[in-house]
Chain A
């Protein structure tokens, strides 16, 4: 009798990629061991979720009655738990962590992906970017050409718009002139959404190939979990790394003021409610940890699946994953 043949069981990546991933993890572990950065392990499940309106967490429930069917969320990054370790006095730490984001699937996205996240005590953003470059040089096994450029310089150069002085209407008019009148629907009335849209539609695809870009000094409205500068215009102490037009990493000089952190969470939760996004609990443990005191530090998250795509010249994230979500 003819049976249905299952052709979904084998991995989508080659055996060579399994070895490349193992070699990359070894490079990372050696790199941090030599620098006295401690590898840590934090839970994937948390009672709190990311409040960011643009992030959608997977959720589940404990079936244990004593714990009252408590809701749990798969982390969208290991950031909150790692900051709690830092506040407890762990010093410099790193983690290779699985992270999860709903509804993110495509050539550069899988709902479950791997981040390398690390934190350095007393580092400035410049120190952290230098360390990132040294690590990436090892990962690519060559000295990469790199450019450090402010968000403002890049934005002005490519679009003629000053991102610190622009308005929602100027950005949506610009996108409409480029043929994307749907920008209003996608970005709503959020200035930071419109900045992100313009950046990813008209700037990112123009970045030079084979050059590592460190984009720095983001507009204050895009600070997320970063500190703000004291100088004018007020900018976020945040950087992003791009290579071959792909976003690879996002780093901050970490916000340590618990009151500001709580206020940002509350603003994000209000935005979620306004947009009808799922209601989620904020991480009160993170707020409490910051209240206790977070040492001055800088931290960054680097997408390891994308890094493997770039070092192996792969077309799709599926080419570097054993079992992407369609085969999970």
Chain B
């Protein structure tokens, strides 16, 4: 089990706090007046997303969290779990609804995504910034409208619903920004 001393603390370092994996957001060394040195640390709990402030005695050690980010291919979902594969090692992992979170509505089989693994299991999944998905359902647009003003809801092949311009039709493939959940462009086939 590896540990980190406060002197190694820096933004991005992964540590275990209260049995949860966390990432350090900010670290400041403090030596008040003539008193004991300590570190003022802000860290994010990677499970809950909560940011916590705490001070650590200088030289105090904390357990390192075995957290790493890996690019993986999304394979399939079986209703309870989403399955991913490391393209280099062919190792497969599965994550539940909590770990996959919002990424679930953007992922299509064979898509590449970044999986944050904690002790080898998915802690969180980040969909690619842009995904290309086919429209499975939307109202027929008004003929001649090419402005895109106003827009209408469209259901995508993964089940996600996004607002699209009126001229976009069922069967067409569009590019979506997963960070905002917004339509970005139509993909010419």
Contacts and interface: CB of A to CB of B under 8 A. Distances in A.
A180 B83 CA distance: 41
16 contacts: A54-B35, A54-B36, A105-B7, A105-B29, A108-B29, A109-B29, A185-B60, A186-B55, A196-B34, A197-B35, A197-B55, A200-B32, A201-B40, A201-B55, A247-B32, A247-B33
Given A182-B56, A201-B55, A222 B33 contact: yes
B98 interface: no
A99 interface: no
A250 B31 CA distance: 13
Nearest to A194: B35
Interface string A234-252: 0000001000000100100
Interface string A163-176: 00000000000000
Contact of B58 (A103, A179, A199): A103
Nearest to B27: A106
B10 to A, nearest CB: 10
B109 interface: no
Contacts of B59: 103
B55 A54 contact: no
Interface string A93-111: 0000000000111111100
Interface of B: 7, 27-38, 40, 53-60
A107 B28 CA distance: 7
B31 A54 contact: yes
Given A185-B60, A186-B57, A106 B35 contact: no
A278 to B, nearest CB: 13
Given A106-B27, A188-B36, 7 more contacts: A54-B35, A103-B37, A106-B29, A182-B54, A192-B35, A193-B35, A196-B34
A195 interface: yes
Contact of A104 (B28, B35, B37, B53): B37
A197 B56 CA distance: 12
Contacts of B40: 201
A288 to B, nearest CB: 24
Give the interface centre of B32, B56, B57, B60 by most chain A CB atoms within 10 Å. Answer: B32
A185 B57 CA distance: 7
List the 3 closest A-B pairs by CB distance, nearest first.
A196-B35, A106-B29, A200-B32
A282 interface: no
Contacts of A103: 7, 37, 58-59
Contacts of B53: 179
Contacts of A192: 34-35
Interface in A236-286: 240, 247, 250
Contact of A222 (B34, B36, B38, B55): B34
A182 B33 contact: no
Contact of B38 (A107, A186, A195): A186
Contact of B29 (A107, A190, A224): A107
A186 B27 CA distance: 16
Contacts of A185: 57, 60
Given A182-B55, A182-B56, A187 B36 contact: yes
A286 B171 CA distance: 88
A112 interface: no
B34 A54 contact: yes
Contacts of A107: 28-29
Nearest to B30: A200
A106 B32 contact: no
Contacts of B36: 54, 186-188, 190, 193, 196-197
Nearest to B60: A185
Contacts of B60: 185
A260 to B, nearest CB: 17
A195 B55 contact: no
A52 B36 CA distance: 10
Contacts of B33: 196, 199-200, 222, 240, 247, 250
B29 A197 contact: no
A247 B28 CA distance: 15
Given A185-B60, A187-B36, A193-B35, A180 B29 contact: no
Interface string A72-112: 00000000000000000000000000000001111111000
Give the interface centre of B27, B28, B33, B53 by most chain A CB atoms within 10 Å. Answer: B33
Contacts of A104: 29, 31, 37
Contacts of B56: 182, 186
A54 B33 CA distance: 10
